[in-house]
Amino acid sequence: MKKQCILVTGGAGFIGSHTCIALHEAGYKVIIVDNFSNSHRDVLSRLNQILNTDIIFYEGDVRDQIFLAKIFKNHAIHAVIHFAGFKAVGESVKKPLDYYDNNILSMICLLRVMKEARVYILIFSSSATVYGDPKWLPIKEDSERYTTSPYGRSKLFIEHLLEDLYHAEPHWNIALLRYFNPVGAHDSGLIGELPNDVPNNLMPFVQQVAKGLQPYLSVFGNDYDTRDGTGIRDYIHVMDLAEGHVSALNYYQTNHGLLTVNLGTGQGTSVLDLVNTFEKINNCKVQYKIVERRSGDIAACWADVSFAERALAWRAKRDLAKMCEDAWRWECARTSLRV
């Protein structure tokens, strides 16, 4: 049977590249679009090495409608998974115009080209950041949405845009996948998270402290109302997240409509839980200091994943130990590959 062709925008990025692996392994044909504004070109050769194939790749900006339309003319695209976008909360506060321009105009351009090509299956990379500081835990998909950063607002705006489009044109099949905290790496050690400079997020920073690239981890506050006073999050292995995208695509083989799903593990992990697990699993030391809270941080956030299990027959399989093991393997490989 001819393989269904999936266009992956931002496919050279952290979650996009891992999703390309899961798609290929599930029997889909992958086409990547990326402009390397937040990813590295050599991820493509590593993906080909892992998959023993030559993934079709187009370098360009999703906001370039003519460039994008050519791809839909050259290939019978079955569905699109849209990752391309900026995603750093702190940076978005300093550069709101760049974030709204890149994230929102890319979405609008992609939708216009998809409509012109009569391709109506879209999987959108959303984020738990749309929940802001949740009143109840675990967080369900119908929890209140509000956000406090331009990055979060760009994601929330796109969710509203897609909901409006679906209500106006119900022949669309649109999945809003809300990621919790993606961490870890493919177990080949060939691809993983590539922070542009000093990491903002916890796991890549822990990796760099363990490797001696940073002197210590600043733990942003231990006076939260949590079991050990440090922030709690729902960390999910990036390959579990990737497989969640395949499950969402498979959902549309027999279903139709607008789907909103939390992709997390349903487990809350504190900063110190993660540090301790990382040290134990990898037999290493992660020096840390307790410092002031980071402004904008929330105390706790973890997902109710019951709907994902029911609707997608999907649940995260990899535990925190596996996340820490794979993250460490990638950090050791990354520094030797000098990427």
Contacting positions for ligand WQD (CB under 6 A): 87, 89, 127, 129, 179, 181, 200-202, 205, 217-220, 231, 233, 271, 294, 297
Contact 163, 258 (CB under 8 A): yes
Least separation in angstroms between residue 125's CB and ligand WQD is 8
CB of 284 to ligand WQD, least distance (A): 17
d(CA 232, CA 268): 6
Q: Of 141, 245, 124, 120, whose CA–CA distance to 175 is shortest? A: 124
The closest of 216, 333, 219 to 273, measured between CA atoms, is 219
Contacts of 268 (CB under 8 A, 6+ apart): 137, 232, 233, 234, 300, 301, 302
CB 35, CB 11: distance < 8 Å = no
The distance of closest approach from Cβ of residue 199 to ligand WQD in the complex, given in angstroms and rounded to an integer, is 7
Residue from 164, 158, 13, 19 nearest 79 by CA: 19
Minimum CB separation of residue 217 from ligand WQD in Å reads 6
Per DSSP, the three-state class of 161 is helix
Q: Which residue number, 92 or 173, has a Cβ lying nearer to ligand WQD?
A: 92
Whether 131 sits among the annotated catalytic residues: the reply is: no
Residue 218 vs 250, nearer CB to ligand WQD: 218
Q: Which of 28, 99, 131, 151 is catalytic?
A: 151
Report strand pairing: 181-183 vs 173-179: unpaired
Tell me which amino acid residue 290 is. I
Maximum C-alpha span of the chain: 57
- CB 55 to ligand WQD: min, Å: 24
Measured in residues, the chain has a length of: 339
SS3 content of the chain, % helix, strand, coil (to 5): 45, 20, 40
Tokens of 148: 């406090």
List, as one string, the DSSP characters of 15-79. Answer: HHHHHHHHHHHTT-EEEEEE--SSS-THHHHHHHHHHTS--EEEES-TT-HHHHHHHHHHS-EEE
Helix (H, G, I), strand (E, B) or coil at 124: strand
Cβ at position 126, least distance to ligand WQD in Å: 8
Catalytic residue set: 151
